Amino acid sequence: MQILTKRQYNDGNKTTRPNIMGTFKHPTKSKYFKIKELVSLELYNLLHEDLLWKLIDSELIETIDKLKEVFNKGSITINSYAWSGDRTQSGVRTKNSKYYRESSQHSIGKAIDCVFSAYTTEEVRDYILDNPEEFPLIGGVEVADWLHIDVRPRIDGKIIIFYP
Ligand SMILES: [Zn+2]
């Protein structure tokens, strides 16, 4: 290991020298969903939007945008509190949520729950399970009244199906 003096570090190591003003990478954002649809109101009130987007796995963002493009009729509702709806815990969950589970994909920004206005949950879930190559990043699907999808790794290339 080479130890550099401060001057060597500053002069000769420009490629790796951290630039404190330039290291903020722009987060991946959804084309179709607002951040309020993906985090709770408490979280929304706590942090800058750019930081909130960093809590959402980019694979999940890619997947929900794909979902919107494939199921393009009507609306997809994740969290709905932004327009006074009752869904508040359908994206990232924090420890103060009564639905919080340490092992949940919701706790690590890798899962959403949603409902569709123009499709039944079963229709969408069956389509995903029948066409897993169209949603290559979905690793988990829950069988429930709502659609739960998450981007955990698949097992042996297969989507994990589970029950609440
Ligand atoms: Zn869920």
Q: Which two tokens stand for residue 87?
A: 């869904």
CA 100, CA 92: separation in Å to the nearest integer?
Answer: 9
Percent residues over pLDDT 90 in the chain: 80
Mind listing the pLDDT tens digit for each residue in 68-126?
Answer: 999 999 999 999 999 999 999 999 999 989 999 999 999 999 999 999 999 999 999 99
CA 102, CA 5: separation in Å to the nearest integer?
Answer: 44
Separation of CA 140 and ligand 1 centre (Å): 10
CA 15, CA 22: separation in Å to the nearest integer?
Answer: 13
Separation of CA 17 and ligand 1 centre (Å): 41
Domains, in order of start, for the chain: 6-162 (3.30.1380)
Is the confidence at residue 7, as pLDDT, over 70? no
DSSP state for residue 55 in the 8-state scheme: T
**Surrounding residues of ion ligand 1, Cβ less than 5 A:** 113, 148
pLDDT value of residue 155: 96
CA atoms within 13 A on the CB side of 142: 19
pLDDT value of residue 43: 95
Separation of CA 47 and ligand 1 centre (Å): 23
Separation of CA 141 and ligand 1 centre (Å): 8
Separation of CA 91 and ligand 1 centre (Å): 8
Separation of CA 49 and ligand 1 centre (Å): 22
Question: What integer best gives the mean pLDDT of the chain?
Answer: 91
Q: Which amino acid, 106? A: H
Name the pTM for this structure.
Answer: 0.83
Separation of CA 106 and ligand 1 centre (Å): 6
Separation of CA 97 and ligand 1 centre (Å): 13
pLDDT value of residue 77: 98
pLDDT value of residue 76: 98
- What is the pLDDT averaged over residues 146-152? 98
pLDDT value of residue 15: 56
H helices present in the chain, as ranges: 6-12, 41-46, 49-54, 58-70, 121-130
